[in-house]
Structure 1
Amino acid sequence: MTKFEALGLDQSLLDAITDLGFESPSEVQEKAIPILLENDTDLVALAQTGTGKTAAFGFPLIQKIDSKSRTTQGLILSPTRELCLQITNELKLYSKYEKGLNVVAIYGGASISEQANQIKRGAQIIVATPGRMKDMINRGMVNISKIDYCVLDEADEMLNMGFMEDIKDILSNTPDEKFTWLFSATMPREVSTIAKKFMHNPQEITVGAKNSGATTVQHEYYIVGGRDRYPALKRLADTNPDIFSVIFCRTKRDTQRVAEKLIEDGYNAGALHGDLSQNQRDLVMNSFRKKQIQMLVATDVAARGIDVDDITHVINYQLPDEIETYTHRSGRTGRAGKSGVSMVIVTRSELRKIKAIENKLQTEFLAKKIPTGMEICEIQLYHLANKIKNTEINEQVENYLPAINDVLEGIDREELIKKIVSVEFSRFHDYYNKTKDLNTTDRGERSERGERGERSEGRGRDKAEIPTSGSVRYFINVGERDDYDWMKLKDFLKDTVGLGQEDVFKVDVKESFSFFNTDVEHSEKVLSTFTEFKVDGRFVNVEVSNSPGGGGGGRGRSGGDRRGSDRGRSSSSRSGDRSRSRSADSRGGDRSRSRSSDSRGSRGDGGYGAKKSKRRY
């Protein structure tokens, strides 16, 4: 096994490594450090999150920096404030025996003048988020015209968050003769563009297969009906009593809603999304790191930079649009050599997405069943028994034993055990005793459709016939006054029902209602999903339209059909939309500036943190 001593590091760095308790370098460190120490070269390093990339570029950078000069010689760009601070803290630990070496963090949400003063006092290495760095360059507060090294950490995440133009502007202020080290988990087209534009004949190293997922993560998927995502989430949590997880949603609205419901149901949950202030984000993340929060519900943008090694599960409440995004999600678990599980909750229409991810990542997903109520009760029973068995006795209880023995007098050992176990077990049994099987079956979906038809008739609206082929036109009682345009409504429908991008078309939004189409094969799923369906306490009703044209004109805007104008734009504009859609926070009317997670403060009070209580059913 290779030791750090064999990589060519100075003794001062080896001393710091000893203090940190590092024994052997990770694969990316073993490959990158000798290249960067022995050569002045550009480098592209592809490695999963949690593989030790910070040390892979941190040690060589520190060794190459002239600590006697106060000039800024190294710039590290990272996507989020959290990752920026993490890198800064790690570099300070690595350089603890390097006299005169200063590392300064530049990020939004903190005093820009104080950060400028720190740079003036001398900062050989600056670690920065793109938004704040560009701002300080424009204000003349920082000079990076003489740097020797530029590191782009989590490059794909930065570009996925919309920082392409900022990075180009920042790099244009650096000298051409500098050396650029690019570290990324995946290599999408945008990262390749940066590499070609700003790097010269870079060497490339890859840890694992290119664009692959971590080998320490097991991938599982669970098929449920569109309305059963949240009950399925609860069952997955209850099946894993010691779960410590990140739950990914596509929009801020869903993140907020799911976190609220989990907290109401007594789980130790919290939310992380772009509308939280920096202080709120810090409180949530500190609670999560201390495991006061067991289930952190997050958007993809807000979760950038989460670096917690003990996450047991990643749960994809909804799949992202981009496979690269799924790679980053699953990379939050199975870190530092530990194993982890990535769970995906899907509807039948989303199975093709699972196949696409399998093909891209060259990994296999396990199809698993949502546990039944009785299976959960059994798991919880054994968990409770083990918890009691492994509990250390608090000697202070000795003082209370005489009184407790008087209370329990006459109860034999077996009955006492039953009573102790029943205190906790009964909650689960009472809740799950008569709950339905959440695993989808065709028969179950037809049954829901029949019940829905009866309720619809009861509301007094004439029920239109469902055609046997072609497409179905639907009426929905939301429109422009509910802050929907055709694109927002289309995203809402496909996310809620669990349909693909092309499955919802001819979206026509009016002031107080709208119309849309799906192929007839999706009709039962659409109608069953919107049975007794509420948004913010209001029923959202979907019914088959009596008017094939969807109500004619009006001032609403149409989504067109799938052959030409489904997106309402020319084919040349679609690529731009696909780029914008990579921000998971841009769905369902919750548009956010992706950089809010970097520096933009709060636009509202998210109000989510840990809540310690027993789970209520």
Structure 2
Amino acid sequence: MTNDLTPPVSLRFDEMALAAPILKAIIEVGYETPSPIQAESIPLLLDGHDLLGQAQTGTGKTAAFALPLLSRIDSSQAYPQLLVLAPTRELAIQVAEAMQTYARHLPGFHVLPIYGGQSMGQQLRQLERGVQVVVGTPGRVLDHLGRGTLDLSRLKAVVLDEADEMLRMGFIDDVDEILSHTPPERQVALFSATMPAPIRRIAMRHLHDPVEVKIAAKTSTVEAITQRYWQVRGLHKLDALTRILEVTDFDAMIIFVRTKIVTEELAEKLEARGYEAAALNGDLNQQQRERTIERLKDGKLDIVVATDVAARGLDVPRISHVVNYDIPNDTESYVHRIGRTGRAGRTGEAILFVAPREKRMLYAIEQATRQRIEPMQLPTRNEIVDRRIDQFKRQISETIESQELNFFRELMEAFQNEQALDMEDVAAALAYLVQKDQPLQPEIEDIPPESERRSPERSDRGREREGGRERGGRERFNVSSDREMRRYRIEVGREHGVQPKNIVGAIANEIGLDSNFIGNISIRDHFTLLDLPEGMPADSFTHLKGVRVCGRPLNISLDTGGSPRDYERSERKPYADHRGGRAEGSRERPRSNTEGANYRSAEPRERSDSAPHYERGLGRESSRETYRETSRDTSRDYERGVGRESSRDSNRAIPRETTRDTGRERTERSNDRANERSGGYRERTERTDANRSSNQGAARSERTAKPQEGFAGRDKPKPSGFRDDKPKRSHKGKANTSNSSGDKPPRRKLSLKPTNKK
């Protein structure tokens, strides 16, 4: 798909065969030297080639296709000649504005952006009037095609801008459908930051012998951006952002977060701290979104808190800083984020907040950008104090230079004479009054610097030793010994399918709390108890109430069932798992689903084949005999929801015995029952053989004695390993405790209850 039609990069715009009105417009804009993607793409598109362009965002792709294709427009013909497909409304508006700027000297030229959220009637009126260029999102373009209000039969060219983003947003099938409505002789230009397989399939199907232009990553605008990261520590995420804002000289800033609700909450918090901030997310209607962007461009707004999709295509030259408040899910999103700054030859700065568990993504981003991201230290208290004092002095100097102060000077002189005060004391009192809401010496503590940076391999091994994950694959949640914890309850439990990792992930991602600060977790049937640090902000809990895990809202609340220390004693006793767990003294939780105290001892146990089933609460014996053993304790079985008695007969509603004895006793009892059944079967087999060889009278006599065969058979030799310590029973269900032979040891007595007692 590549060939040698690559022009020299040293070409200037006036040396290209652009139309005179287009060249005049770009000179007025101030363009002189094309970017690499422009230098390679413009001559190819002017010659009519199909183009497959791969370049990062912010490299000038819009001008790369707009300038040559506008040069081929016949502005005297009022029908669509150029169609540009963009993934978002913002990008569609941006491209349409650029088209209008470049074609300002083309007589009779009209460009129309069409996208969802805009009045359909307005779009229909402009289409009826006649336009040469249509810039739209795939969904709205398909809508017009279905209505028959958009005619693409005389289209000269189609541009797919940011095709990889359209693929990610699920528009690729719509793009395929739209291209099928275009004439086969039209020219196609496809631009994408990446080139995944589905994009290449689209290119092979709809592009005719395309020329591939690929701009190496080293020419990306990332080189013009200073990148740093700060490792998130506990509850200090918002405080860290505030400190950065206070000591950083920025013109405009975009703060990226993951969810819509966080955009609104964070913007409100920043406004409360004195910053001009606003949220930008998908819940805003188009008029609100456009108004927010205009305020940012005009300097009436300094900070925008946005999601990835909402900020896609946002091009505001005054954006000098990008803060990744939440780390992106992939490296491509990171490149798109920081591409909002450092545009058009400017420099920019990108700051990334990284939690310890997100270090692997940090290294992946470094590989994708081919740059090392250096750690940063947060401003100290002294630096913040110095910054506030400098700003205060500067405000005083600017006020003296720019304001008329005669009235206030006379007022202060009169006050000084009346009170016989020094002017320094008066000035100090005024300074105190002015800075009362924001003191020059805030009562804040320094956040400790990050420890030495570790490689991902070493970090993983350290996590295994320090409590991240045990060899057996079991999650561990350790609590810092010097941090006070509170126990909370969330309304999702075992029956909803929740696991510890679901809870930790939800809390860590939604409120920015590092997983190291999440303590003990106890999952019950219908709810879960967990320990969180004391002193967390109230708005964090307000947000967590609506967070859904396993389809259920957490509805977190303070648990009043006991202190965290009591809970820790009952949940985290020393325990060793017989399948290869930790040694005695470990603080990890047992692998059993049972809750509460009285765990099994950690000594090795003998097990029969059925023993593992008992340990997991499976394969319990359901005796068919006419009695049930009295339960010792049913609390553990009832917590797990197994072994419940549902009989309506009060005489049979005695809960079955729970398995709280040792594993050896349970194994022996299981063997006893198995051997009893085995012995009875052998006795019946021997009698059957004897009956076949005896006379009819002997057979009748044998059948007469049959009701006690099962008990009489116990006097015969038993298989190896069989314990002869069970009481005999008569056919009436009574225990026979007599010791007829003196050489036998006394049998253990059991309290047996009949099925029907009258």
The TM-score, its normalising length taken from structure 2, stands at: 0.61
Aligned residue number for residue 231 of structure 1: 239
Which of 535, 541, 565 is the matching residue for 2:541? 535
Aligned residue number for residue 341 of structure 1: 349
- Between 1:360-369 and 1:378-387, the stretch displaced more is 378-387
Q: Given that residues 224 and 438 in structure 1 are in contact (C-alpha distance below 8 angstroms), is that contact kept between their aligned partners in structure 2?
A: no
Partner Cα separation in structure 1 for residue 370 and residue 149 of structure 2: 46
Which of 105, 110, 117 is the matching residue for 1:109? 117
Which of 311, 314, 323 is the matching residue for 2:331? 323
Structure 1 residue 313: deviation in Å? 0.9
RCO greater where, 1 or 2, for CA within 8 Å and sep 6 or more?
A: 1
- Between 1:113-122 and 1:541-550, the stretch displaced more is 541-550
What are the equivalent positions in structure 2 for 1:443-462 lying under 5 Å apart? 449-452=480-483, 454-456=484-486
Task: List per-residue Cα deviations over 1:271-310 (Å, max 9, x = no partner).
Answer: 1111222232223222222222222111111111211011
Residues 58 and 376 (structure 1 numbering): CA distance in 2 closer, same or farther, change over 3 Å?
same
**One-letter amino acid of the counterpart of residue 447, structure 2:** D
Partner Cα separation in structure 1 for residue 205 and residue 524 of structure 2: 46
Task: List per-residue Cα deviations over 1:190-237 (Å, max 9, x = no partner).
Answer: 544433443233223334417955211111000122422111111111
Residues 55 and 230 (structure 1 numbering): CA distance in 2 closer, same or farther, change over 3 Å?
same
What are the equivalent positions in structure 2 for 1:264-343 lying under 5 Å apart? 264-343=272-351
Which of 20, 27, 32 is the matching residue for 2:36? 27
Are 1:54 and 2:62 an aligned pair? yes
Structure 1 residue 15: deviation in Å? 1.8
Partner Cα separation in structure 2 for residue 403 and residue 134 of structure 1: 71
Q: Given that residues 44 and 203 in structure 1 are in contact (C-alpha distance below 8 angstroms), is that contact kept between their aligned partners in structure 2?
A: yes
What are the equivalent positions in structure 2 for 1:408-419 lying under 5 Å apart? none
Query: What is the identity percentage for the equivalent residue pairs of Structure 1 and Structure 2?
Result: 34
Aligned residue number for residue 694 of structure 2: none
User: Once superposed, what is the RMSD of the aligned Cα atoms?
Assistant: 3.9
Task: List per-residue Cα deviations over 1:428-469 (Å, max 9, x = no partner).
Answer: 556743424154569xx99982354x544xx6xxxxxxxxxx
- Between 1:370-379 and 1:527-536, the stretch displaced more is 527-536
Task: List per-residue Cα deviations over 1:323-367 (Å, max 9, x = no partner).
Answer: 100001011111111111110111222122111110111111011
Structure 1 residue 186: deviation in Å? 3.6
**One-letter amino acid of the counterpart of residue 450, structure 1:** S
Structure 1 residue 425: deviation in Å? 6.3
Q: Given that residues 32 and 57 in structure 1 are in contact (C-alpha distance below 8 angstroms), is that contact kept between their aligned partners in structure 2?
A: yes
Partner Cα separation in structure 1 for residue 59 and residue 275 of structure 2: 31
Aligned residue number for residue 477 of structure 1: 490
Partner Cα separation in structure 2 for residue 428 and residue 182 of structure 1: 53
Partner Cα separation in structure 1 for residue 205 and residue 217 of structure 2: 24
Residues 440 and 116 (structure 1 numbering): CA distance in 2 closer, same or farther, change over 3 Å?
same
**One-letter amino acid of the counterpart of residue 376, structure 1:** I
Bigger radius of gyration among the two:
2
Partner Cα separation in structure 1 for residue 148 and residue 523 of structure 2: 48
- Secondary structure of residue in 2 paired with 1:341: strand
Aligned residue number for residue 581 of structure 2: none
Structure 1 residue 264: deviation in Å? 2.2
Structure 1 residue 2: deviation in Å? 4.8
What are the equivalent positions in structure 2 for 1:214-613 lying under 5 Å apart? 214-242=222-250, 244-386=252-394, 388-389=396-397, 393-394=401-402, 397=405, 401-403=409-411, 406=414, 432-437=442-447, 439=449, 449-452=480-483, 454-456=484-486, 477-479=490-492, 491-496=505-510, 513-514=527-528, 527-528=532-533, 534-536=540-542, 548-550=591-593
- Secondary structure of residue in 1 paired with 2:26: helix
Residues 114 and 34 (structure 1 numbering): CA distance in 2 closer, same or farther, change over 3 Å?
same
Structure 1 residue 426: deviation in Å? 6.7
Residues 210 and 54 (structure 1 numbering): CA distance in 2 closer, same or farther, change over 3 Å?
same
Aligned residue number for residue 596 of structure 1: none
Residues 535 and 180 (structure 1 numbering): CA distance in 2 closer, same or farther, change over 3 Å?
farther
Task: List per-residue Cα deviations over 1:464-485 (Å, max 9, x = no partner).
Answer: xxxxxxxxxxx961438xx998
Partner Cα separation in structure 1 for residue 338 and residue 323 of structure 2: 9
Q: Given that residues 264 and 279 in structure 2 are in contact (C-alpha distance below 8 angstroms), is that contact kept between their aligned partners in structure 1?
A: yes
- Secondary structure of residue in 1 paired with 2:176: helix
Partner Cα separation in structure 2 for residue 85 and residue 381 of structure 1: 43
Aligned residue number for residue 5 of structure 1: 14
Residues 140 and 450 (structure 1 numbering): CA distance in 2 closer, same or farther, change over 3 Å?
same
Task: List per-residue Cα deviations over 1:514-541 (Å, max 9, x = no partner).
Answer: 489xxxxxxxxx8559967742176567
- Secondary structure of residue in 2 paired with 1:214: helix
- Secondary structure of residue in 1 paired with 2:166: helix
Partner Cα separation in structure 1 for residue 594 and residue 177 of structure 2: 49
Q: Given that residues 40 and 213 in structure 2 are in contact (C-alpha distance below 8 angstroms), is that contact kept between their aligned partners in structure 1?
A: yes
- Secondary structure of residue in 2 paired with 1:247: strand
- Between 1:6-15 and 1:408-417, the stretch displaced more is 408-417
Partner Cα separation in structure 1 for residue 96 and residue 21 of structure 2: 18
Aligned residue number for residue 686 of structure 2: none
Residues 511 and 334 (structure 1 numbering): CA distance in 2 closer, same or farther, change over 3 Å?
farther
Residues 407 and 23 (structure 1 numbering): CA distance in 2 closer, same or farther, change over 3 Å?
farther
Residues 216 and 8 (structure 1 numbering): CA distance in 2 closer, same or farther, change over 3 Å?
same
**One-letter amino acid of the counterpart of residue 26, structure 1:** S
Residues 188 and 264 (structure 1 numbering): CA distance in 2 closer, same or farther, change over 3 Å?
farther
Structure 1 residue 396: deviation in Å? 5.0
Partner Cα separation in structure 1 for residue 54 and residue 422 of structure 2: 63
Gaps of at least 5 residues in structure 1 are 460-474, 517-525, 553-617
Residues 30 and 383 (structure 1 numbering): CA distance in 2 closer, same or farther, change over 3 Å?
farther
Aligned residue number for residue 565 of structure 1: none
What are the equivalent positions in structure 2 for 1:58-73 lying under 5 Å apart? 58-73=66-81
Partner Cα separation in structure 1 for residue 408 and residue 512 of structure 2: 56
Residues 41 and 173 (structure 1 numbering): CA distance in 2 closer, same or farther, change over 3 Å?
same
Q: Given that residues 225 and 341 in structure 2 are in contact (C-alpha distance below 8 angstroms), is that contact kept between their aligned partners in structure 1?
A: yes
Partner Cα separation in structure 2 for residue 529 and residue 136 of structure 1: 57
Q: Given that residues 280 and 304 in structure 2 are in contact (C-alpha distance below 8 angstroms), is that contact kept between their aligned partners in structure 1?
A: yes
Residues 195 and 388 (structure 1 numbering): CA distance in 2 closer, same or farther, change over 3 Å?
farther
**One-letter amino acid of the counterpart of residue 222, structure 2:** A
**One-letter amino acid of the counterpart of residue 479, structure 1:** V
What are the equivalent positions in structure 2 for 1:142-181 lying under 5 Å apart? 142-181=150-189
Task: State how many pairs are aligned.
Answer: 517
- Between 1:80-89 and 1:269-278, the stretch displaced more is 80-89
Task: List per-residue Cα deviations over 1:127-153 (Å, max 9, x = no partner).
Answer: 111221121112222122332211112
Structure 1 residue 76: deviation in Å? 0.6
**One-letter amino acid of the counterpart of residue 541, structure 2:** V
Which of 167, 180, 193 is the matching residue for 1:185? 193
**One-letter amino acid of the counterpart of residue 14, structure 2:** E
Q: Given that residues 241 and 383 in structure 1 are in contact (C-alpha distance below 8 angstroms), is that contact kept between their aligned partners in structure 2?
A: no
Residues 243 and 125 (structure 1 numbering): CA distance in 2 closer, same or farther, change over 3 Å?
closer
Aligned residue number for residue 141 of structure 1: 149
The TM-score, its normalising length taken from structure 1, stands at: 0.73
Q: Given that residues 252 and 303 in structure 2 are in contact (C-alpha distance below 8 angstroms), is that contact kept between their aligned partners in structure 1?
A: yes
Residues 386 and 251 (structure 1 numbering): CA distance in 2 closer, same or farther, change over 3 Å?
same
Structure 1 residue 315: deviation in Å? 0.5
- Secondary structure of residue in 2 paired with 1:181: strand
Structure 1 residue 156: deviation in Å? 2.7
Partner Cα separation in structure 2 for residue 130 and residue 61 of structure 1: 20
